[in-house]
Structure 1
Amino acid sequence: MEDLDSAVVLGMAAQAPDGIVIIDGEGLIRYWNRGAERIFGFAADDVDGRSLDVIIPEKHRKRHWDGFQEAMDRGSSKYGEADLLNVPALAADGRKLSIEFSVVLLPAPDGSTYCGAVIRDVTARRERERELMRRRAEATV
């Protein structure tokens, strides 16, 4: 495969319809693309350097940060390349979202580690699935 100019690769990441978010080892947001802006409603400038807690519902934060710290200490995620994680999230306006994401640890040249995620909003699909299950349950009663 021909090597692409890094500007082309960065342009793809910036314009991807899925959210691409990168946080540092402290859990601070360091990259937030247009897809993440669309999904969560926060402009990149508004979340740059802020904790990922801005999108994590409070009741899920401890579990998230415990898992994050384990992965950072281990230097690898327990999730494989093909794993899609499903979790609740928060939008800027307070709406609850359902998101799917894949995660990868990204070693930096200085020895630090970043964590990257590719995120998709599946809220509408999850609502349709719940409605279908509700209708099936009513039909069997």
Structure 2
Amino acid sequence: MGFALLSGWLVSRLLRATRQSRSTLETSAQQKAILDSSDDAIVTITQDGLIRSFNKSAEKMFLWTEDDIIGRNVNILMPEPFKSAHDIYLSRYQLDGNDKRVISKTRELTGVRKDGSEFPMSLTVQKVRRAEPLLFVGFIQDLTEVRDQRNHLAHTKRQYNSLLHGMPGVVWSATLEAAPLTLFVTDNIAELTGYPPEHFRDQHVALNDLIDPEDAPQALQCRQLARTRSEEYAVALRLRTCEDQQVAVVELGRVTTHTDGSARVQALWLRVDSPAWQRLQAYLQRH
């Protein structure tokens, strides 16, 4: 009788352990499926820096298979000098248990693929709480496209600024109001008026304040009419310089209206005695 009870107890424990093992395997499989469905590369490491898990996105990003990289030091994914220093960072964390510069912070770093090629990436590290042994999870995004877009935008901006600042006249933009705000002005405003461009950008001097009072109503009328008709305009004006000298210019511009009802003037001031204006006049007369 005692043997039968003991046998039954052993079978019961074995069945329970089998169910628990099956449940653990199912849970692990579910967790892996979730990780593999992520667009971010997700890498789990131990407190010694050894890789414990490597999802599908990480495989595509770093060109390592999970089977080949599990158990390796995570510094294999880093270039120098970060590769050599990484173990020191982990040791320092184990000593004081706190590194606010890394945990939960997103940083832009450089990653290294299996073939040795480098790429820009963002990394966010989280500590797995209540894990034994201590684990860290890294969420990684490839920033190659973002970097290319930044470079393209920077190049386009340089070309745009070079074009604007290389024009023969002063290019400016301002709101269409009774007291307009200067939104943009090229640096050669100083050559035309004697006022440094910072005075306009800081709103210390208004573009409209430079216009001779007798010409101001005509300028405003042309701008308002251009806004109503959605067409470009040209108006002859006299400007007053910082030395109270008079400069004759032609204002060539257009007015754009935004969805909120606000309007913006985009214009060019050309001196009437400049070669550029004379060439433009000759062109208009021929056409």
TM over 0.5: yes
Match for 2:37: what amino acid?
Answer: Q
Given that 1:77 and 1:105 are in contact with CA atoms closer than 8 Å, whether structure 2 keeps it comes out as no
Distance 1:64 1:104 in 2: 16
Q: Please state how far the C-alpha of 1:87 moved relative to its aligned partner.
A: 0.3
1:9 aligns with 2:26: no
Distance 2:148 2:85 in 1: 24
Normalization by structure 1: what TM-score?
0.80
Aligned position for 2:143: 122
Q: Please state how far the C-alpha of 1:77 moved relative to its aligned partner.
A: 3.7
- Tell me, what secondary structure is at the counterpart of 1:105? strand
Larger RCO: 1 or 2 (CA < 8 Å, sep 6+):
1
Distance 2:54 2:80 in 1: 21
Aligned position for 1:39: 61
1:14-93 to 2 correspondence within 5 Å? 14-78=36-100, 79=102, 81=104, 83-93=105-115
CA distance 1:63–1:133, shift in 2 (3 Å): farther
Distance 1:109 1:117 in 2: 15
Q: Please state how far the C-alpha of 1:70 moved relative to its aligned partner.
A: 2.6
Match for 2:144: what amino acid?
Answer: T
1:98-113 to 2 correspondence within 5 Å? 98-107=120-129, 109-110=131-132, 112-113=133-134
- Tell me, what secondary structure is at the counterpart of 1:88? strand
Distance 1:86 1:36 in 2: 17
The alignment covers a number of residue pairs equal to 135
Match for 2:111: what amino acid?
Answer: A
Distance 1:64 1:135 in 2: 38
Q: Please state how far the C-alpha of 1:107 moved relative to its aligned partner.
A: 4.4
Q: Please state how far the C-alpha of 1:108 moved relative to its aligned partner.
A: 5.3
Q: Which is higher, the Rg of structure 1 or of structure 2?
A: 2
Given that 1:76 and 1:105 are in contact with CA atoms closer than 8 Å, whether structure 2 keeps it comes out as no
Distance 1:74 1:104 in 2: 17
Q: Deviations over 1:17-42 (max 9, x none)?
A: 21110111211111111010011111
Q: Percent identity?
A: 22
- Tell me, what secondary structure is at the counterpart of 2:48? coil
Normalization by structure 2: what TM-score?
0.42
Distance 1:44 1:126 in 2: 27
Q: Please state how far the C-alpha of 1:138 moved relative to its aligned partner.
A: 4.4
CA RMSD in angstroms, aligned pairs only:
2.3
Q: Deviations over 1:58-101 (max 9, x none)?
A: 222244443333333332441454x3111001111222111112
CA distance 1:93–1:75, shift in 2 (3 Å): same
Q: Please state how far the C-alpha of 1:139 moved relative to its aligned partner.
A: 4.1
Distance 2:53 2:31 in 1: 14
Structure 2 residues not aligned, in runs of 5+: 1-25, 163-287
